[in-house]
């Protein structure tokens, strides 16, 4: 899985070249080229090798099993998995795992896909991510490649170091659990084969113990592609918040005008934001 091509190129170099081309084509909105390159990438043996390596060797959760109980693959098993990867319309349920929230008594649910689904999600993510990275808003930092909380801190400092400004502090209430499947699929607007596979993952259900529960909304926390799908669902929120801010009364330096405007937030939320997740303000 670490070998090169007949021309001496490494598999990672071949995959990165295609990823860069998808990004460049997505910037001007060349949808036809983006779809062609995405199909090429998802069928690439080298891209499949890279997806399997990331899930079975590089990922911290590589030894966590899904409902099939498979984990810690041998080199031969990894090669078999590479040859099995194919985008279709089926997916196995995720396995429910409860982990404690830091500093709290309650626990957070994770949905662990099977090793096969994780590798396939990694392959699909490899194709979708560059398309959406070219479109995402510049002030988005969560679950973005090459970005971290330090970058967000720097952006905040640059924005406020010259002049005091108001800050809207809001929480997304159970964002992963409340994503609307139909609106997300419509927003993805991808080609049919990929659309069917993503819908299968969203509707696969979750096994909690020996009981299977349906998933009518949300994406499983623990899935490789879930953070990207959440970012896609939330794309456009920056624009909506800027539109919302125009209605705030910012004349009083004490912020009382802003406080009176808080009740206005819920009534002016757009359908896009409402269907993607629920927004709750911090007290």
**Cβ-count burial 195-226 (b if 16+ within 10 Å, e if not):** eebbbbbbebbbbbeeeeeebeebbbbbbbbb
Q: How far apart are the C-alpha atoms of 257 and 251, rounded to whole Å?
A: 7
Q: How far apart are the C-alpha atoms of 110 and 116, rounded to whole Å?
A: 17
239 or 185, which is more confident? 185
pLDDT-based confidence at residue 72 (cuts at 50, 70, 90): confident
- Work out the average pLDDT over 15-28: 93
Whether the per-residue pLDDT at 69 is higher than 70: the answer is yes
Whether the per-residue pLDDT at 11 is higher than 50: the answer is yes
Mean per-residue pLDDT of the chain: 84
Whether the per-residue pLDDT at 192 is higher than 60: the answer is yes
- Work out the average pLDDT over 150-171: 86
200 or 101, which is more confident? 200
Residue 282 is predicted with a pLDDT of: 44
Residue 270 is predicted with a pLDDT of: 44
- Work out the average pLDDT over 153-176: 84
Whether the per-residue pLDDT at 281 is higher than 60: the answer is no
- Work out the average pLDDT over 180-200: 94
The pair phi, psi for residue 156, each rounded to 5°, is -65, -45
Which residue matches tokens 């096969």? 116
Instruction: Provide the H-helix boundaries in the chain.
Output: 11-26, 31-42, 45-53, 75-84, 115-133, 149-160, 175-178, 181-188, 192-202, 226-234, 237-245, 256-260, 262-267, 271-276
pLDDT-based confidence at residue 269 (cuts at 50, 70, 90): very low
- Work out the average pLDDT over 206-232: 91
pTM attached to this predicted model: 0.84
Whether the per-residue pLDDT at 280 is higher than 50: the answer is no
């Amino acid at each position: 899985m670490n070998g090169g091509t007949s021309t001496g190129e490494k598999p990672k170099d071949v995959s990165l070249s295609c990823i860069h081309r998808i990004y460049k084509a997505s910037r001007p909105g060349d949808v036809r080229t983006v779809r062609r390159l995405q199909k090429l990438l998802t069928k690439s043996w080298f891209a499949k090798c890279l997806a399997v390596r990331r899930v079975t060797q590089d990922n911290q959760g590589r030894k966590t099993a899904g409902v099939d109980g498979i984990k810690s693959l041998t080199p031969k098993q990894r090669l078999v998995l590479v040859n099995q990867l194919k985008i279709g319309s089926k997916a196995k349920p995720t396995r429910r795992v409860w982990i404690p929230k830091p500093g709290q008594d309650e626990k957070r649910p994770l949905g662990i896909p099977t090793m096969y689904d994780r590798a396939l999600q990694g392959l699909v993510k490899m194709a979708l991510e560059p398309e959406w990275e070219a479109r995402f808003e510049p002030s988005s930092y969560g679950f973005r490649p090459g970005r971290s909380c330090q970058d967000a801190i720097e952006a905040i400092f640059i924005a406020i170091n010259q002049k005091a400004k108001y800050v809207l502090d809001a929480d997304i209430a159970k964002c992963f659990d409340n994503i609307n499947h139909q609106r997300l699929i419509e927003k993805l607007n991808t080609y049919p084969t990929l659309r069917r596979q993503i819908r299968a993952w969203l509707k696969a259900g979750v096994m909690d113990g020996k009981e299977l529960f349906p998933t009518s909304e949300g994406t499983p926390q623990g899935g490789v592609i879930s953070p990207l799908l959440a970012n896609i669902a939330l794309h456009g929120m920056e624009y909506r918040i800027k539109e919302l801010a125009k209605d705030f009364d910012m004349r009083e330096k004490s912020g009382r005008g802003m406080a009176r405007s808080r009740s206005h937030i819920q009534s002016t939320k757009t359908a896009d934001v409402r269907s993607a997740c629920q927004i709750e303000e911090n007290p």
